[in-house]
Chain A
């Protein structure tokens, strides 16, 4: 992997939409027909980041954060309002047709396959569209068929494929012209665990073998944990985190979760961590449901040992355990907190 070489450079990328505001009623819609009232919505606000060649970047954020808008600007579908993005030295909106030959795009919720025809036909059409020479097409198909295990259904009409098969077929379609950058938008959406695993392995394989740079957006953080070393997270159009998963864990990962069963609900009420340790809300939360209690705390503020001895000293408990917050938990917290800068 050569992360020194920058494949993608995003610089203060910004996208504003004009949203027409409709007044209610018939009069309102006639009015909006002739003189529409518009409102400016900032979907993406001056986002910058870089991606090295051969890197798999996890691009995450809650719903409506502006992920798709960024991806659409990077793929040349939308024109940025301001800022720029350069991919392999090219600008997506200038000379779109030559640019898109360098990228492959998979939108998990849509397909670019020819619905009514055997899968093989889609590839033969894409071969022409992307002007892939005959001999490299053959080699390419052999490679993709093997990695994505297409041989079982390559002669079946696309409409008869299962969701997992369709996704593999779609990924193959996006890779036919050997793009340098692959955009995967929710590639595992709606798939079961085994199929997800297959797809992740294939992506990893292709990335390792071909040094393909991958930008991956997903809601399934297991995808990210397995595939990417680095993540960029955005929320409400603003970048909130950019770094390796390790540093994310370090930065936010001092969070521990202690859970135990108290003798009775009343007994648990005796505990008052916030007062005892002088903890603020950022560092501490408690969830009690009957006898079972969950305490999340920042181990930088209170060492685990003190937490345990305080608890055990106050009441008698059964089944006590302390664990690291996993990445899912960290990101959930980040999403909930939102941007507070």
Chain B
């Protein structure tokens, strides 16, 4: 196992190096991303103010703030660019180079991306979790941090990332059939954003729609980890939703392997 991991260390390292060289750029990018979070905060304040305060669809104002911050953190942590990379490699044919390497195709991407994620995760997670706890304590007057929720959140995030990663691998393979990858990628991001609760908590949707969305793989990406951290799910619900996450990981992992086999066949038959 240790030896197998060592094969992938160069990929982790390459990802790390890339991020390190664009540090200043990354900070500006994150600030830009955070701005929409700030706008959302003001809108929700206005909404709660206009709605007379209190609880809306299971969220108090302070919980809504926590939700916004945690969604921002979770989205960043589980983000995956791999569909674009795969698509580009298919388009320019360099995917063949990866086929020649004696390592798993998916794994090379996974470790490369994880390398890039390491600094992000370290730089963002701690401060943002602390910020959330300070906000909650000040607004509600009680200290609500729970180590259990944090641990469950971490596990749930790892599962969410794996779902996202394999889902994006599958989507990237679509480049074999879809020509317009850039536009399609953008559409995917919008839809995934909405379905995963990044735009609005799913509990604000009509009940039937909420049920459908909760079952779809997208809720497993952002909504489930955040709801778990916020303690919105009780025992049985946690087991159910994390079980669902595991199911979707296996589903997309299997699908990506299947697509990979089909693609290899196509490549070898068509000669690239």
A residues in contact with B24, CB < 8 Å: 29, 33
Which partner residue on chain B sits nearest A32 by CB separation?
A: B24
Q: Mark A289-315, 1 if CB is under 8 A from B, else 0.
A: 000000000000000000000000000
The CA-CA distance from A33 to B23 in the complex, in Å, is: 11
CA distance A29 to B24 in the complex (A): 9
**Interface SS, B side:** helix
CA of A26 to CA of B23, assembled, Å: 9
How many B residues, CB 8 Å from partner? 2
> Could you say which residues of chain A place their CB within 8 Å of the CB of B23?
26, 29
Q: B1-46: which have CB < 8 Å to A?
A: 23-24
| Chain A-chain B contacts (Cβ-Cβ < 8 Å), number | 4
Considering the complex, give the chain A residue whose CB is closest to the CB of B119: A26
Q: Contacts of A26 on B, CB cut-off 8 Å? A: 23
Interface string of A11-37 (1 = CB under 8 A from B): 000000000000000100100010000
**How far is B23's CA from A280's CA once the two chains are assembled, in angstroms?**
55
* A281 to B74 alpha-carbon distance, docked (Å): 69
In the complex, what residues of B have CB within 8 A of residue A33's CB? 24
Alpha-carbon gap, A78 to B186, bound state (A): 39
In the bound complex, how far is the Cα of B24 from the Cα of A33, in angstroms? 9
- A36 CB, nearest partner CB in chain B, Å: 12
Query: Hey, what's the 0/1 contact readout for A311-326 against B, CB within 8 Å counting as 1?
Result: 0000000000000000
Q: What is the distance, in angstroms, from A332's C-beta to the closest C-beta of chain B?
A: 35
**A22-56 contact mask (Cβ, 8 Å, vs B): 1 or 0:** 00001001000100000000000000000000000
Bound complex: CA of A33 vs CA of B25, how far in Å?
A: 12
How many Å from the CB of A311 to the closest CB on chain B?
A: 52
How distant is A176 from chain B, measured CB to nearest CB, in Å? Answer: 32
What's the Cα separation between A179 and B23 when bound, in Å? Answer: 45
Report the minimum CB–CB distance from A116 to chain B (whole Å).
14
Task: Looking at the assembled complex, report how far the CB atom of B72 sits from the nearest CB atom of chain A, in whole angstroms.
Answer: 23
- Within 41-64 of B, Cβ neighbours of A (below 8 Å) are at none
Q: How far is the CB of B93 from chain A (nearest CB, A)?
A: 15
Q: How far is the CA of A75 from the CA of B23 in the complex (A)?
A: 35
Complex-state Cα separation, A26 to B20, whole angstroms? 9
Give Cα A33–Cα B28 distance, bound, in whole angstroms. Answer: 13
Q: How far is the CA of A29 from the CA of B25 in the complex (A)?
A: 12
Q: How far is the CB of A33 from chain B (nearest CB, A)?
A: 7
Query: In the complex, what's the smallest C-beta–C-beta distance from A277 to chain B, in angstroms?
Result: 55
A26 to B24, CA, bound (A): 10
CB distance from B180 to the nearest CB of A (A): 15
Q: Taking CB as reference atom, which chain B residue is nearest A33?
A: B24
**Nearest A residue to B27, CB-CB:** A33
What is the minimal beta-carbon distance from B7 to any residue of chain A, in angstroms? 28
**Alpha-carbon gap, A26 to B27, bound state (A):** 13
**Whole-angstrom distance between the Cβ of B67 and the nearest chain A Cβ:** 32
A29 to B23, CA, bound (A): 9
A26 to B19, CA, bound (A): 12
Interface residues of B in 84-124 (CB under 8 A from A): none
Minimal Cβ-Cβ distance residue in B for A26: B23
Instruction: State the CA gap A252–B125 with chains docked (Å).
Output: 67
A119 to B24, CA, bound (A): 40
Sorted from nearest, which 4 A-B pairs have the closest CB atoms? A29-B23, A33-B24, A29-B24, A26-B23
Chain A contact residues, CB within 8 Å of chain B: 26, 29, 33
Give 4 A-B contacts (CB < 8 Å), ordered by A residue. A26-B23, A29-B23, A29-B24, A33-B24
